[in-house]
Amino acid sequence: MTTNSKRTARGRTLIAAAASITAAVSTALAGCASPVLDDAPGPSGVVVGAGAGTDGELLAHLYAGALRRTGIDVTVRDPGDRAGALAALDSAEVTLVPGYTGRLLRYFEPAAPQTDAEDVFTALGRALPTDLTVADYATAQDRAVLVLSDATSTALGVTDIDAMAGRCAELTVAATAAFTESGGLDALASVGCVPAAVEQVGDAEAVRAARGRGALGALTTASPALVGADVVALADAPDRSPGEGETGEGETGEDTRAPVFPAQNVVPLFRRDVFGERQLDALSMIAGELTTADLAGMLGRVDAGEDSAAVADEWLGEHV
């Protein structure tokens, strides 16, 4: 396990389990990488549910492959969409569903205001039903992002979202479905960004609209369309480091400005008390190794026609 894997395992996983674990067990778990103390070899079979889209399928194969390497039988099932996958998880038809922290939080608690990565993860842990839990989240995420052409950025004199908020009425927003699903439009409205118009477009068209006609491209960070694209990504406030700016409730302190767009880190959601230590370590390995660039690169390969299971297996072979 890498240093980063150990840091995330020790700094995050226990948060999600704390609400339902006794003080004695919490003390025993301090410093561990898993939300349960199960040294058993793991279940005889596991079903990973794939969410909708290329990313849902790819992430399912990533987590399935990592778990399979611990010696258990794992299959991937497609429940149709995220709602179907979560319903199958709730009924125990599937064991684990990969997702993004912010989208999952919005599903379980639609009015949740958190945007910082640590705060979103903490709130997600609190919002989950008692029979579900999450392990470490990865640095890889599919967060909302705004892009402009260099010429438009220079003409408007904007390089960050705060400056853009006052100029939104001058531009059309070309938004992808993923941007909308990740709460991007709601987040813009919360900072007073009211565009002249909003168009729903595909990822490649959002980039072309920004470059070719001065629109505000609205995508998400793992979009393959952004790889090598000649656009300016508007800066958002950074996520705080673990332990930085925390209050007693684990929320971002008043002196720390939260990002506009909610964090959308890759995370596994699974049924509690199912996995053994080896399986939990495998989940934490993905948290420590998977980057946004990795995710975007793999999604681009799958979009180009490669098999998602093969792409996931190649990545695992390089990082396990």
pLDDT at 6 over 70: no
Q: What is the mean pLDDT of residues 152-168?
A: 95
pLDDT at 285 over 70: yes
pLDDT at 205 over 70: yes
pLDDT at 14 over 50: no
- pLDDT number for residue 279: 96
* C-alpha separations of 120 from 112, 169, 311 in Å: 9, 30, 29
Q: Residue 283 corresponds to which tokens in the numbers above?
A: 């989940």
DSSP class of 137: P
Each residue's pLDDT tens digit, 18-41: 444 433 334 343 444 444 444 444
pTM: 0.85
Task: Tell me phi and psi for residue 140, to 5 degrees.
Answer: -60, 130
pLDDT at 9 over 60: no
d(CA 266, CA 141): 6
Sheet holding 216-220, edge to edge: 197-200, 172-175, 216-220, 144-148, 232-233
**Would you place residue 146 in the very low, low, confident or very high pLDDT band (cuts 50, 70, 90)?**
very high
- pLDDT number for residue 275: 96
- pLDDT number for residue 318: 97
d(CA 88, CA 74): 16
* C-alpha separations of 14 from 244, 266, 286 in Å: 17, 17, 17
Chain length of the chain: 320
Q: Is 200 exposed, middle or buried (0-12, 13-18, 19+ CB in 10 A)?
A: middle
- pLDDT number for residue 52: 80
